Structure 1
Amino acid sequence: MSTRRTRDAGAVPRSRRLAIASIVAAACLVTAGVVAVGAHTASAQDTVAAAGARSSAGRPERAGDLGARRAQVVSGAVGTAAPGAVRFAYAGDSITARPDSWLHALESDPAVHAVGGYARSGARSDEVSAEVGSVPDAEVLVVEVGTNDVNQAVPTTDTLRSVDAIVRRVGAARVLVVAGPPSDRTTSQWGADRRAGQLVLTAALRRDAEDHGWSFVDPFVPFRAADGGWVSGTTPDGIHPSAAASEVIGRTMAEAITRTAH
């Protein structure tokens, strides 16, 4: 009996062993730089959880990707309407959803007013299509999607089908399609050349708009270098426009929305 008591007294309880094992495993994941982004909710910015999970494509997310992968979500009306403002809806990804995006730059613009829509950073066009709803009060629908399709090597034909679906779901009388932005990235974890893909996407979106009788705008012209990347000093991460660039993009968008409405 005394021998058994001595052995039991020196043993580590099972619950404590499991806790120690969990801590060691977590430390290994952090050391490897592997993190995961938690599922999004309908808020301006979701909490990012560091855990050893994998992306939707089965590839690990790394710490350096967190800034681009944090989910910013915008839905519903944005800003306050001024008398006579053109009412528009929006459907987009991070180019539209980020806090310093063109959409937020227009919050105080008396010429236009966002009355509804859906945009989420990291969203593919099919995901935007699944989330956006009807906006019956909108005179114009602004469609800004495809950046994440390019990143994830989604065929352009699939993106165009999603654009058509977005237009049907929102039901606005007029449609304004937005070009793809520049990109300083020539690779992605899905094996895509993001810079070349954005140029292909923009050409396809322009043709699709022409075929449907929709309006088209490329607000990124002043910021797109000859090689399809961003002009130096106009992007913080090689993917998104800077806050100053977004202000200029917002003015271009306001003019395009107004022209489309009339």
Structure 2
Amino acid sequence: MAATAWVLLGCAPSGSAPSGSDASPDRPAASDTDDPDRAGGTFAAVGDSITDADSRNFAAGEIGPASWAACVVDAGFVFAGGWAEWGATTARMADAAAEVDADTLVVLAGTNDVAFGIPFAETSANLERIVDAVGIDDVVVSSIPPIDAFPQGPVEFNEQLAEFADERGWRFVDAAAGLRTSDGTFRSGLSFDGLHPSEDGARVLGEAIADELVAG
């Protein structure tokens, strides 16, 4: 229970986000569909603090550099919309998700469900609600990153998530694989608090997700 309490504190919005917590003013608009350099297709995203990170306004495409989505945009994909909020469970995401017109939906969700001890049966039902609400057929579901205070939680969750995604015909990508050590904790330098990826860690997630979108 002590580990879970620590996780919950870490999942609340705070001023302890990584340096450069404002979205870079030099970053092109993530939703700029007229940019000829962005030929990778469009994506929507739903998630929690791992996705929102230091974004000024994630839903509006003002994505911060500590979000994996920024890396996907840099890889040539256009962000079409979505929803992400610090501390969000999959139930909260399902309640907030709305229809988006995009080629692919990327969902990175479940860290807070693990923290709250929410049964996977509830999580899986919420994931289905998210996908139904957004209304995109091509769905990519990512593994969740480590939780240093409770390493076994994400390991077990990701195993169930991979199986569930396969059953639903969704694409599962273990984007967090490059973040993990053999004992299920973060690799050195890839998290600033043992829960949230650093900018380098977000890049690991984003590159893996972008690769999956390219593989399509």
TM-score, reference length from structure 1: 0.65
- Residue 152 of structure 1 is matched in structure 2 by 116
Cα deviation for residue 79 of structure 1 reads 4.2
Residue 211 (str. 1) matches residue 167 (str. 2): yes
State the distance in 1 between where 2:142 and 2:74 align.
Answer: 21
**What 5-or-longer segments of structure 2 have no aligned partner?**
18-28, 55-65
Residue 105 (str. 1) matches residue 48 (str. 2): no
Cα deviation for residue 242 of structure 1 reads 1.1
One-letter code of the match for 1:69?
A
Cα deviation for residue 244 of structure 1 reads 1.2
Cα deviation for residue 258 of structure 1 reads 2.4
Larger Rg: 1
Cα deviation for residue 123 of structure 1 reads 0.2
Match of 1:118 among 83, 86, 89: 83
Counterpart of 1:88 in 2: which secondary structure? strand
The structure-2 alpha-carbon separation of the partners of 1:108 and 1:231, relative to structure 1 and needing over 3 Å to count, comes to closer
TM-score, reference length from structure 2: 0.79
Count of residues in correspondence between the two structures = 184
Query: Which structure would you say has the larger RCO, counting Cα contacts within 8 Å and 6 or more residues apart?
Result: 2
Does 101-110 or 241-250 show the bigger shift?
Answer: 101-110
Q: Following superposition of structure 1 onto structure 2, how do residues 29-48 of structure 1 map, counting pairs within 5 Å?
A: none
Q: Following superposition of structure 1 onto structure 2, how do residues 210-229 of structure 1 map, counting pairs within 5 Å?
A: 210-229=166-185
One-letter code of the match for 1:207?
E
**What 5-or-longer segments of structure 1 have no aligned partner?**
1-60, 187-194
- Whether the 8 Å contact between 2:46 and 2:108 is mirrored in structure 1 is yes
- Residue 249 of structure 1 is matched in structure 2 by 205
Cα deviation for residue 105 of structure 1 reads 2.7
- Whether the 8 Å contact between 1:79 and 1:108 is mirrored in structure 2 is no
Question: Residues 206-225 of structure 1, C-alpha deviation per residue, up to 9 Å, x if partnerless?
Answer: 00111011101011112211
State the distance in 1 between where 2:72 and 2:169 align.
Answer: 25
% identity of equivalent residues: 33
State the distance in 2 between where 1:158 and 1:97 align.
Answer: 23
**Aligned-residue CA RMSD (Å):** 2.1
State the distance in 1 between where 2:132 and 2:158 align.
Answer: 21
